[in-house]
Amino acid sequence: MSKTKVAAKDGWFTLDEAAPALIGSRCNGCGTYAFPAEQVYCKNPACDSESFEQVELSRSGRIWSYTNACYQPPAPYIPTTDPFEPFALAAVELEAEKLIVIGQMTPDVSVEDLKIGMPVELVLDVGWEDDEHQYMVWRWKRAG
Amino acid sequence: MHPWGKWGKPFVEYGVKAAREALADAGVEWREVQFVAGANTIRNGYPGHVSGATFAQALGWNGCQISSNYAACASGSMAIASARNRIMAGLCDVALVVGADTTPKGFLAPTGGDRPDDPDWLRFRLQGVTNPAYFAFYARRRMELYGMTDADLAQVKVKNAKAGAQNPYARYRKEFTLEDVQQSPMVADPLRLLHICATSDGGAALVLCSREYAEKKGLANTVRIRAVSTATPTYPSTHLEMPDLATDSAAVVPPPERPFRSAVVYAAYEEAGIGPEDVDVAEVYDLSSAMELDWIEQAGLCGEGEAEHLLRNGDTAIGGRIPVNPSGGLGAFGEAVPAQAIAQVCELTWQLRGQAGPRQVEGAKVGVTANQGLFGHGSSVIVSV
Ligand SMILES: [Zn+2]
């Protein structure tokens, strides 16, 4: 029996594996975006709106900066491999929303492959699993 | 101060040692102290969360008023501000500020337990983003934008290790060569082990008093706190900050003219009525070697993208035009979270009094500190003779 795929953090991204997207918010008062989505109060100090529309953020962006983890991060991180394999991390700028989101790169690339300004797109991957579930997380993947 | 290290003793011991040393240095009796401002540590149970009371009790209850301050790495500045504000309001004449910590080994990680709504927990669980990963994002930007090299990163460490070797309170008293640093293992590309500050045990304390009190008591060799800034960001904060996985959006509201870190220090300049051109010595928050270069620019000590030039020229070394981190900085000390913003002011005090020995910045009259705590806590203190 296959395991059920669930989001590692409910409501932060869609589980559409072909074209996943981060779920953010657009304020109905001032139009500003936020990720993770605002639930109650707008963070714009000039806006007292308490009403938001959930929006799927741009699925692609450009690398603002990047690095890697040469050593296993401490708990609560759950490593995906044993022994630990270094992974690359990218901070990606979404042009329309003008915000930066951090994510691990897919394991097919290492830090030497990355450049600032490189286009990437959002994909889903298994972060960790238990007997019944696969907990999905977002990753950035080199575009094209 | 209590020397930084990995002593494994209760944090209270370090704080009390630092406090007693500060009181003796000032020539003030503990029983005269009317206010204690503690800088909290969250890693040492309940006593760490009520640090003002913890230190007051350990020094021997004297009936004073207290405050306990938490602002992550900026807790020390918040404690200084708390004591200074009380003095300036005329509610007290003499106060004691204390911060101390005992830290676990390795990366700073969130405290235990499942907290899926805490951004500090989520960044580790969902993406494995450690503190050095953030420092590395900033460092990679400097390489791309301003041409910082691996040798520049190593040079910051060599400079600060040389200063730290002369500082009896520093944890690391060893000098390094460029080669030593460039051969240390990569942790978060482009940052190597010797580019990133460790976590330490340590304690620091200050005695603050009103000018009238100092005159009445005939206290010698005092320095003046001219400004304390604990500024927060202005929306939208477009710089990636720990522990967030995303920045604010600048799609609708344009970013502020002065980015956060720069705004923190300029708020202090404004309060002091001086500018960066008046500064003789600076203690900045070098979580990584690259962040020392960032802060030099954010504090206005040179233009954007010019810090590498200052470094290569020797301008930021002791004996240079504008010495930065003559204490040895976090590179030589390591982070003892609640103590470090206080320790920066201790160093400036010795520098301004001409008591820094082999680390002395000749003729230093004005000093500035820059530091920052998780969750939007700015920290900058200006001290002058
Ligand atoms: Zn709004």
For residue B270, the distance in angstroms to the closest alpha carbon of chain A comes to 23
- Write down the pLDDT at residue A144: 75
User: Nearest residue on chain B to A33, judged by CA atoms?
Assistant: B249
ipTM exceeding the 0.85 mark = yes
- Write down the pLDDT at residue B107: 62
What's the predicted TM-score (pTM) here? 0.95
| Sequence-separated (6 or more) residues with CB below 8 Å from residue B324 | B281, B282, B283, B284, B292, B296, B301, B316
For B352-362, write each residue's pLDDT tens digit.
Answer: 999 999 999 99
- Write down the pLDDT at residue A1: 65
Q: Which two tokens stand for residue B150?
A: 């691996």
Which of A31, A68, A103 lies at the smallest CB-CB distance from B188? A68
Cβ neighbours around B342 below 10 Å, total: 30
C-alpha distances in angstroms, B15 versus B20, B149, B196, B333?
9, 39, 25, 16
- Write down the pLDDT at residue B110: 76
- Write down the pLDDT at residue A10: 95
> Using a CB-CB distance cutoff of 8 angstroms, which residues of chain A are in contact with residue B138?
65
> Using a CB-CB distance cutoff of 8 angstroms, which residues of chain A are in contact with residue B185?
70
User: Nearest residue on chain A to B134, judged by CA atoms?
Assistant: A67
- Write down the pLDDT at residue B111: 72
Average the pLDDT over B34-60 and give the result: 96
- Write down the pLDDT at residue B375: 86
- Write down the pLDDT at residue B358: 97
Whose tokens are 């001086």? That residue is: B274
| Sequence-separated (6 or more) residues with CB below 8 Å from residue B183 | none
φ, ψ of residue B38 in degrees (nearest 5)? -95, 145
Q: A51 CA distance to ligand 1 centroid (A)? A: 8
Q: A44 CA distance to ligand 1 centroid (A)? A: 5
Distance CA B140, CA B145 (A): 9
Is a pLDDT exceeding 70 seen at residue B106? Answer: no
- Write down the pLDDT at residue B112: 76
Low-confidence ranges of chain A (pLDDT < 70): 1
For B150-185, write each residue's pLDDT tens digit.
Answer: 999 999 999 999 999 999 999 999 999 999 999 999
pLDDT bracket for residue B199 (50, 70, 90)? very high
For B264-273, write each residue's pLDDT tens digit.
Answer: 999 999 999 9
- Write down the pLDDT at residue B105: 72
Is a pLDDT exceeding 70 seen at residue B108? Answer: no
